[in-house]
Amino acid sequence: MTVDKSVLWTVIPAMAIGTYLIRFSFLGFLGATPLPGWLRRALRYTAVAVLPGLVAPAVLWPAATGGSPDPARLAAACATLIAGLATRSVLPSLAAGVATLFAVQALVS
C-alpha cells in the first residue's frame, strides 16, 4: 500500500528530531548524569523487544494472501531466524530467507 504524503512529511521531521535528541542526550547535555542501572539494562533490549513483535503479524497473516497463513512466508521466516542463530550474521540470514521464500513459492505453484 502506498504511503500517505501528509503522514510521511509528519513522520520524517518528527523522527529526525526525536532520533537526534536521543543521540545528543548524554553526549550533549546530560554528560555525567549517571543512568539508573535498571534503565541501562532495559535499553539493551529495545531492539529485540520491538522488532520481533513488529513482524509477527506479517509473518502469520500476510496481507498479500488476504491474511491467511502462507507456507512460503512461514518457511521463509523460520529459515531467516535459524540462519541468523546459526551464522550470527545478517547477510546469510537474509539470503536464506529470500531463497526459502522463492523455493517454496515455486514448489507450491
Partner 1 sequence: MTDPRGFAMAAFLRGARHSLPFFLVILPFGMLFGVLGTEAGLTMAEVVAFSLTVFAGAAQFAALQMMQDQAPVWAILATAMAVNLRLMMYSVALTPHLGAAPLGIRAIIAYFLVDQSFAVSVAEYTRRPGMTLPEKTAYFFGAVLPVMAMWFAANIAGARMGQAIPPEYGLDFALPITFLAMVGPMLRSRADVAAAVVSVLGTLALIRLPYGTGLLVAAALAMAAGVLVETLTRAKDTA
Query: Locate cell 539493551: which residue?
Result: 44
- Give the x-and-dash track for 4-33 against partner 1 (CB under 8 A): x--xx-xxxxxxx-xxx-xxxxxxx-xxx-
**Shortest gap between Cβ of 95 and partner 1 (angstroms)?**
9
Phi, psi of 81 (to 5 degrees): -65, -45
For the four alpha carbons of 28, 45, 15 and 93, in that order, the dihedral sign comes to positive
Tell which phi-psi region holds residue 66, choosing left (phi > 0), alpha (psi between -120 and 50) or beta. Answer: left
Site residues for partner 1, 50-79, by CB under 8 A, read 50-60, 62-64, 73, 76-77
* Among 36, 89, 104, 109, contact with partner 1 (rule: CB under 8 A): 89
Site membership for partner 1, residue 44 (CB under 8 A): yes
